[in-house]
Amino acid sequence: MYSLSPPSRTQGWSFWWKPALFVLVAVVGLYYVKWSPYYVKSFLAADKHSIGASILDDKQGAPVAAALSYAKVYFLAIWKAAVLAVILGSLLQVLIPRDWLLRLFGRAGFGSVLRGGLFALPGMMCSCCAAPLVAGMRRQQVSVGAALAFWIANPVLNPATLVFMGFVLGWGFTALRLVAGLVLVLGVSLIAQRISGPEEIPEPAQEAVAEASSPDPQNFLARWTRSLWQLFWSTIPVYVLAVLALGAARVWLFPHIDGAMGNSLLWLLPLAIAGTLFVIPTAAEIPIVQTMLALGLGMAPAVALLMTLPSISLPSLLMLRKDFNARVLVAVALLTMLVGVISGLVGALLL
């Protein structure tokens, strides 16, 4: 039976300062970028029953203008979180011992998936901002299921978003999002883990234990700089290009909503597909759906958008193209669409 055993010698401060530094950077960064702003925004949501205007409500008709205007609004909203995510994703690879990550997330099974989802809750990242962290996890041999659970749970089970949703759209929406989100995080991650096939965990795990018990031969700053550059180059350029492309495509992805659309189920699947591919900042699905409901969009397609818009996106899928095989990413996208459609049908009956 394979097992990881910790190094026998006692680790001193030269070992512990690295995980401590990672925790410090994560806590300070998340407080500044996420926790403090969301705490303030929760009072706005409770008082105004709104967290702002829809990011899609600028009525652009020309694709180029739509691309540039959307990219400007989007990146102004997320750049701090994106910078923090790239920093944390690179630091994860040089500050956290790989055997620690493998103990928590290395095995292919429900336990690793559950822990991946739980560890995502403090992050409150959108799918694209969580992607560099997920890439860092995968490069440390974290299992497919745990990494996917961490990725999807960041936006879908974001505690702040659930609170905003309750105040703005109603607590019925929050309850449905929570239940469907748990199905999405756990179910999709476990299915994708099975699709990915067996992973070679023992050998990297043994290497990790050996690394943990021997001095680091390389300078920390040099290792971090290399990791930071590799992560940045493999994720950010394609991210920017994909956001521009989707900003242009929104002219066709999200047609003008009017009362004629009503509760027509014909819009359920197209909007579930559009929601899965499109990219938004954290919690932006709430004002989008609030505005569309006010314009006459039916409950079923509205709930489908509420589930699919934050979950994943085409840019985040492209950012992780080197860290998961294509079958896994396609399966995650299709299963997200399916959960969106089913959630929409359930929402039409219950809400």
Q: Print burial letters for 251-264: b (CB count within 10 Å at least 16), e (below 16).
A: bebbeebeeebeee
For 220-266, how does the pLDDT look when each residue is reduced to its tens digit (9 = 90+)? 889 999 999 999 999 999 999 999 999 999 888 886 665 556 566 78
pLDDT tens digits for range 137-167: 999 999 999 999 999 999 999 999 999 999 9
Buried b (16+ CB within 10 A) or exposed e, 132-160: bbbbbbbbbbbbbbbbbbbbbbbbbbbeb
First vs last Cα of the chain: how many Å apart? 50
pLDDT level of residue 324 (50, 70, 90 thresholds): very high
Handedness of CA 44, 48, 49, 53 (dihedral sign): negative
The secondary structure of residue 235, as a DSSP letter, is H
The 3-state DSSP composition of the chain as helix, strand, coil percent (nearest 5) reads: 75, 0, 25
Q: Output the pLDDT for position 10.
A: 52
Checking if the pLDDT of 104 tops 50, the result is yes
Quick one: pLDDT at residue 251?
A: 82
Closest-CA residue to 304 (of 333, 257, 251, 267): 267
pLDDT per position as a tens digit, 276-313: 999 999 999 999 999 999 888 889 999 999 999 999 99
Q: Would residue 344 be called left, alpha or beta, if left means φ above 0 and alpha means ψ between -120 and 50 degrees?
A: alpha
CA 69 to chain centroid, in Å, comes to 23
CB-CB neighbours of 6 under 10 Å:
13
Nearest to 49, CA basis, from 293, 256, 312: 293
Position 14 confidence tier, pLDDT thresholds 50, 70, 90? low
Give the list of residues 6+ apart from residue 210 with CB closer than 8 angstroms, or none: none
Q: Would you say 173 and 134 are in contact if contact means Cβ atoms under 8 Å apart?
A: no
Burial per residue of 82-96, b for 16 or more beta-carbon CB atoms within 10 angstroms, e otherwise = bbbbbbbbbbbbbbb
Average pLDDT over residues 51-71: 87
Angle at 41 between CA 279 and CA 245, to 5 degrees: 15
Q: What percent of the chain has pLDDT over 90?
A: 77
- Residue 198 has a pLDDT of 73
The two tokens of residue 168 are: 């703005």
What pTM, to 2 d.p., does this model score? 0.91
Q: Say whether pLDDT at 208 is over 60.
A: no
pLDDT single digits (tens) 82-96: 999 999 999 999 999
Using alpha carbons only, what angle is made at residue 208 by residues 203 and 209, rounded to the nearest 5 degrees?
A: 100
